[in-house]
């Protein structure tokens, strides 16, 4: 099925590329973001000026169970910041993030630590996201080690199982991270994130550093894993073709707010906001 969007660009392949339809009711909310705002302030020593960059302005977002959401926007629109806030890596200035009936931003640090497991993030550059001196097994088992889950042997076994799930051979368990290629390292990062059985996975430009054929591979892997494990994921990317293939719904961000949200097919065919139109034009 071919769709033409407003400016005439063709998106090939349509939605048959994504065989999975969420088995959960699309109305059950996994994560709810309310009125999230964040401004980055840069202050210079001994000068009275301070420059503020507003990354998020009162963002509202609901993420359903088992859904796949794409987050797009131009550079500086705040999509990466939103992703990091959702993964609790940045602390927003105001707003709420609701998960399982709890506002994560109001939790005490010990409870927060437990809640963190539910949302994991995969970074863009696997070389920086994995400690190069760790072995593959150590990397994947690290979250289990932090949580002091079971015994050392059990953790190792689970790590090797996860490695197999993401398509890496068990025999590479003792290889150091720096001996793996970029695509393999990204698989390790995914395996690591899955170790704690998260409910939500945020992929911050996680496929952008890979070659197109690898991107497709990893994307397919992601879709398969979602079937198996049932998490929701948020794919942040500037590559609209990827978004087209990888997600059900898309949210468009512009200057710190979400300006448009809907099914990918609908949004790309008939963009409602000028920002979306500009994005599609550049495609």
Partner 1 sequence: MLRYFTRRLLHGLFLVVGVSLLTFFLLQLAPGDFFAEMRLNPQMTAESVAAVRHQYGLDRSVATRYLLWINSVRKGELGFSFAYDSPVACLLWARARNTLILTLSAMLLSWLIAVPVGLGCGARPGGWSDRLCLGATSSLLAIPDLLLALGLLFLAVRTGWFPTGGMVSPGFDDLSGWGKVKDVVSHFCLPVATLVLGTVPVLVRHVRAGVVEVLASPFIRAARAHGITRRRLLARYALRGAAAPLISLLGLGITTLLSGALLVEVVMSWPGVGPLLWEAVLARDLYVVVGAVMCSTLFLVGGNMVADALLFAVDPRIRTE
Partner 2 sequence: MTIRRRIYLALGFLGALHASVLLASFFAPYDPEVQDRELPFAPPTRLHFVDERGRFHLRPFIYACASSSMPVAACVEDLTRAFPLRFFVRESSAVEKANLANQGAELGASESKRRHWRLFGVDQPARIFLLGSDGLGRDQFSRLLHGGQVSLLAGMLAAGLALGFGLVLGAVAGFYGGWVDELIMRSVELFLALPWLYLLFAVRAFLPLHLSAVQSFFLLIAVMGVVGWARPARLVRGVVLSARERDYVAAARGFGASDVYLLRRHVLPQAFGVVMTQAGILIPQFILAEVALSYLGLGVAEPVPSLGNLLAELQQYHVMASYWWMFLPGAALIPVFASYYALANALQERAGVVPT
In whole angstroms, give the CA distance from residue 190 to residue 96: 27
Return the number of the residue (134 or 172) whose C-beta is nearest partner 2.
Answer: 134
Contact 17, 242 (CB under 8 A): no
Q: In the complex, what is the shortest distance from the CB of residue 6 to partner 2, in angstroms, rounded to a whole number?
A: 37
Give yes or no for residue 21 binding partner 1 (CB under 8 A).
no
Q: How far apart are CA 96 and CA 240, in angstroms?
A: 29
Quick check: 265 and 281 in contact, CB under 8 A? no
Of 114-122, 152-160, 234-242, 247-255: span binding partner 2 (CB under 8 A): 114-122
Is residue 113 at the binding interface for partner 2, with CB under 8 A as the rule? yes
Q: Tell me which of partner 1, partner 2, none is bound by residue 143, counting a contact when its beta carbon lies within the kind-specific cut-off of 5 to 8 angstroms.
A: partner 2
45 binds, among partner 1, partner 2, none (CB under 5 to 8 A by kind): partner 1
Q: What are phi and psi of 84, to 5 degrees?
A: -65, -35
The CB-of-51 to partner 1 minimum distance in angstroms stands at 16
Among 96, 142, 165, 224, binds partner 2 (CB under 8 A): 142
* Strands, E assignment, the chain: 3-4, 10-11, 29-43, 50-64, 68-73, 94-99, 102-103, 119-122, 200-204, 232-236, 249-254, 257-263
46 binds, among partner 1, partner 2, none (CB under 5 to 8 A by kind): partner 1
- Cβ atoms within 10 Å, residue 229: 14
Q: Which of 6, 62, 89, 107 binds partner 2 (CB under 8 A)?
A: 89
Q: Which does 225 bind (CB under 5 to 8 A by kind): partner 1, partner 2, none?
A: none
146 near partner 2 (CB under 8 A): yes
Contacts of 124 (CB under 8 A, 6+ apart): 204, 205, 206, 208, 209
Tell me: does residue 207 bind partner 2 (CB under 8 A).
Answer: no
Confirm if 112 and 88 have CB atoms less than 8 A apart. yes
Residue count at the site for partner 2 (CB under 8 A)?
A: 24
Q: Check binding of 117 to partner 2 (CB under 8 A).
A: yes
Of 259, 264, 262, 263, the C-alpha closest to 275 is 259
CB 253, CB 278: distance < 8 Å: no
Tokens 């970074």: give the residue.
123
Complex with partner 1: residue 45 or 228, whichever CB lies closer: 45
User: Should residue 45 be labelled a site residue for partner 1 when binding is judged by CB under 8 A?
Assistant: yes
- Interacting residue ranges for partner 2, rule: CB under 8 A: 87-89, 113-114, 116-117, 119-121, 123, 125, 128-131, 133, 142-143, 146-147, 189, 192, 196
- Interacting residue ranges for partner 1, rule: CB under 8 A: 45-47
């Amino acid at each position: 099925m071919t769709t033409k969007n407003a400016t005439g660009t063709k998106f090939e392949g349509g939605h048959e590329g994504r065989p999975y339809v969420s088995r959960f009711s699309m109305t059950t909310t996994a994560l709810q973001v309310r009125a999230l705002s964040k401004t980055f302030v840069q202050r210079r020593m001994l000068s009275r000026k301070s420059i503020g960059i507003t990354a998020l302005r009162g963002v509202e977002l609901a993420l359903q169970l088992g859904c796949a959401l794409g987050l797009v926007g131009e550079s500086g629109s705040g999509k990466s910041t939103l992703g990091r806030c959702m993964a609790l890596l940045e602390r927003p200035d105001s707003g709420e993030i609701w998960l399982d009936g709890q506002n994560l931003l109001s939790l005490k640090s010990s409870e927060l630590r437990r809640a963190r497991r539910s949302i994991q993030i995969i970074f863009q550059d696997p070389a920086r996201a994995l400690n190069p001196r760790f072995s593959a097994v150590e990397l994947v088992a690290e979250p289990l080690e932090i949580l002091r889950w079971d015994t050392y042997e059990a953790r190792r076994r689970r790590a090797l199982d996860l490695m197999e799930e993401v398509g890496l051979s068990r025999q590479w368990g003792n290889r150091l991270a720096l001996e793996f290629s970029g695509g393999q390292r990204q698989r390790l990062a995914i395996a690591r994130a899955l170790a704690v059985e998260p409910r939500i996975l945020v992929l911050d430009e996680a496929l952008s550093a890979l070659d197109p054929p690898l991107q497709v591979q990893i994307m397919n892997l992601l879709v398969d894993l979602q079937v198996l494990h049932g998490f929701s994921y948020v794919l942040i990317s500037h590559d609209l073709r990827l978004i087209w293939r990888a997600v059900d719904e898309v949210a468009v961000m512009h200057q710190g707010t979400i300006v448009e949200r809907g099914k990918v097919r609908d949004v790309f065919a008939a963009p409602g906001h000028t920002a979306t139109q500009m994005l599609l034009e550049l495609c």
